[in-house]
Amino acid sequence: MQFTIQRNRLADSVNHVMRAVSSRTTIPILTGIKIVATEDGITFTGSDSDISIESYIPVEENGDKLIDMVQPGGIVLNARFFGDIVRKLPKDTVEMKVEDSRQVLIRSGKAEFYLNGLDHKEYPLLPQVSDETVFSMPGNLLKTLIRQTVFAVSTSEIRPILTGVNWHIENGSLTCVATDSHRLAMKTSPVDLPENESYQTVIPGKSLTELSKILDDNDQPVNIFITDNQVLFKTKNIHFYSRRLEGNYPDTSRLIPAEYKTNIVLEGKLFNDAIDRASLLAREERNNVVKLTSLEGNMIEISSNTPEIGHVSEQIPIHSLEGEALNISFSAKYMMEALRAVEGNEITVSFTGAMRPFIIKSVEDPTILQLILPVRTA
């Protein structure tokens, strides 16, 4: 293997595939990045067996020569050292060459590194995914879907299925649901699939978070393939594989109340900032609980009380209140995360009683719903 490559492109690819490399793997070769060079381009691969990422650099792109390929071949290089080296190389181009006994020369300007490599044929094969596109969506929409749901997955391994986001496609619509059993985030989006096709899969939250970091924030399409135990996200030069979580995702549809006793409409940012302040004195508590009380004249009060520290209250105006008076306590953390996901200027919060789940929606965007279970207080 021998080639000269643009350093920036090499650095991007190495940064992308490193997201899948874990230093805690029990399979030594997986601490490395696999590099395979052909006449057409170079593929970089990183994997921790949950996530695998391939990044491809073509020899030529849009008329620009990115690689000068002297000799195809392959090698596996330690991800951490290789990544550090690439980041600090002095010049804009890099020469790489596999020498005897898998020593790899990395040269840029007058700096010459020799890294010990491993045989790329010993690197585990990635899952085979058939080439039938399931569906496609713009990268920025996919990032939004992830951002608005993934924060609500469970961080506990007691019910592993809840550490993933449930993706369900039916009637030409994708519904993403995440819940840790104290709150739930749901987002729907139309997809370009025939109405009679349906799919269901649970994707680990960690995979989606990493995917989201790699995707560019533009409308370039991402093709999504679902197989028996893998999901593959394909962009022009990146293949992102995630394993699927096994097991049945709970039926969450019944959690969402059908009717409400109280509806309030208010400005999201004002609400968020008041909760943020009220939570300052409550954060020592595990659940960081604040209280919402309705007042006369389209006002509510947000308050919290921790006797050994102090108490706080703030009145904020709301746009409207319909139905019964309110007095409810909930986790400030959950509410602020829900408000960040909903992101509308004007939001609706709908309650069915002090101990029943309530939901938060954007007045402007009906595709996103957040649900929170209240907290019982004295």
Nearer to its own copies, 141 or 280 (CB): 280
Cα distance between residue 270 and residue 102, in whole Å? 61
**By the 8 A CB rule, do 33 and 82 touch?**
yes
Crossing angle for the helix pair 7-18 and 79-88, to the nearest 10 degrees:
150
Q: How far is the CB of 309 from its own copies (least distance, A)?
A: 6
Nearer to its own copies, 222 or 275 (CB): 275
Nearer to its own copies, 311 or 319 (CB): 311
The pair phi, psi for residue 2, each rounded to 5°, is -155, 130
Nearer to its own copies, 79 or 137 (CB): 79
Q: How far is the CB of 85 from its own copies (least distance, A)?
A: 6
CA distances in angstroms from 232 to 133, 134, 170, 190, 241, listed in the order given: 10, 10, 19, 19, 5
Cα distance between residue 149 and residue 186, in whole Å? 6
Nearer to its own copies, 220 or 315 (CB): 315
Nearer to its own copies, 66 or 312 (CB): 312
Cα distance between residue 81 and residue 114, in whole Å? 11
Footprint on this chain of its own copies (rule: CB under 8 A)? 78, 81, 84-85, 88-90, 103-104, 110-116, 273-274, 276-277, 280-281, 308-316
List, in sequence order, the alpha helices (H) in the chain: 7-18, 79-88, 139-149, 205-214, 268-279, 332-342
Percent composition of the chain: helix, strand, coil (DSSP 3-state, to 5): 25, 45, 35
Q: How far is the CB of 304 from its own copies (least distance, A)?
A: 10
Q: How far is the CB of 94 from its own copies (least distance, A)?
A: 13
Cα distance between residue 19 and residue 233, in whole Å? 15
Residue 291 is which amino acid? K
Q: How far is the CB of 274 from its own copies (least distance, A)?
A: 7
Cα distance between residue 36 and residue 43, in whole Å? 5
Beta bridge partners of 51: 242
Residue 240 is which amino acid? F
Rounded to the nearest angstrom, the gap between the alpha carbon of residue 58 and the centroid of all alpha carbons in its chain is 27
For residue 218 the two structure tokens come to 């533009």
Q: How far is the CB of 329 from its own copies (least distance, A)?
A: 19
Nearer to its own copies, 15 or 189 (CB): 15
Nearer to its own copies, 112 or 216 (CB): 112
Q: How far is the CB of 186 from its own copies (least distance, A)?
A: 30
Residue 323, Ramachandran bin (φ over 0: left; ψ between -120 and 50: alpha; else beta): left
Q: How far is the CB of 107 from its own copies (least distance, A)?
A: 10
